Chains A and B, each alone.
Chain A
Amino acid sequence: SQQGEEDPQALSIQEGENATMNCSYKTSINNLQWYRQNSGRGLVHLILIRSNEREKHSGRLRVTLDTSKKSSSLLITASRAADTASYFCATGPPYGNKLVFGAGTILRVKS
């Protein structure tokens, strides 16, 4: 069952620009997480935001969470070619550790 849905499905930007990806979900959550996947590899955990938080920063990443709208956004500032990857949001349920992943956004950063 897929809960998170990312938007857009694909994004192409120039190096130095900001990239924004959105995630919507349907049910109550304990937390929302963002992951990156380079082509053909496993996923790498980027950032986790809990349901009682509204915004979180980590380096060039900024995540917001709006639980009233059941949505989150991931902003990557000053993008680099190395940011080219697929980005997935995943929702953590109120109980347990079983994440549900969205279908992902493919980001291409052109140099």
Chain B
Amino acid sequence: DVKVTQSSRYLVKRTGEKVFLECVQDMDHENMFWYRQDPGLGLRLIYFSYDVKMKEKGDIPEGYSVSREKKERFSLILESASTNQTSMYLCASDRTGNYGYTFGSGTRLTVV
């Protein structure tokens, strides 16, 4: 069964900490995405990547960075966590050609 795995389901971090959210896919997909989901705001794209070492900003990249050193892994980094980054973070991948995204189970991050 093909999968996108997010390293943590729940995470609690302190304000100012550097936070790493990891995402791994086993489908050899070229494209990977990070979204955050907040009540009333839907899913908003933070960053995406079409290839190894390649990244592009989404709609809300401020306060975040990403890393894609290997095709299967796409990491989201919160350089200095703030309380307004408390959210559900969703990673997704797909192959070029619009076949539909495969999502991970999500990481619910709380910044205190």
Binding site for B on A (CB under 8 A): 1-2, 30-31, 33, 35, 40-45, 48, 50, 88, 90, 92, 97-104
Residue pair A33, B48 in contact (C-beta under 8 Å): no
Interface of B, helix, strand, loop or mixed by DSSP: strand
Which of B43, B99, B106 gathers most chain A CB within 10 Å?
Answer: B43
Enumerate chain B residues within 8 angstroms of A103, measured Cβ to Cβ.
40-42
Q: Does B102 contact A (CB under 8 A)?
A: yes
Residue pair B43, A40 in contact (C-beta under 8 Å): no
Enumerate chain A residues within 8 angstroms of B102, measured Cβ to Cβ.
45
User: Which 3 A-B pairs give the minimum distances between C-beta atoms?
Assistant: A42-B103, A45-B100, A103-B42
Residue pair B98, A92 in contact (C-beta under 8 Å): yes
Alpha-carbon distance A15/B101, docked complex (angstroms): 29
Alpha-carbon distance A2/B44, docked complex (angstroms): 8
Residue pair A1, B59 in contact (C-beta under 8 Å): yes
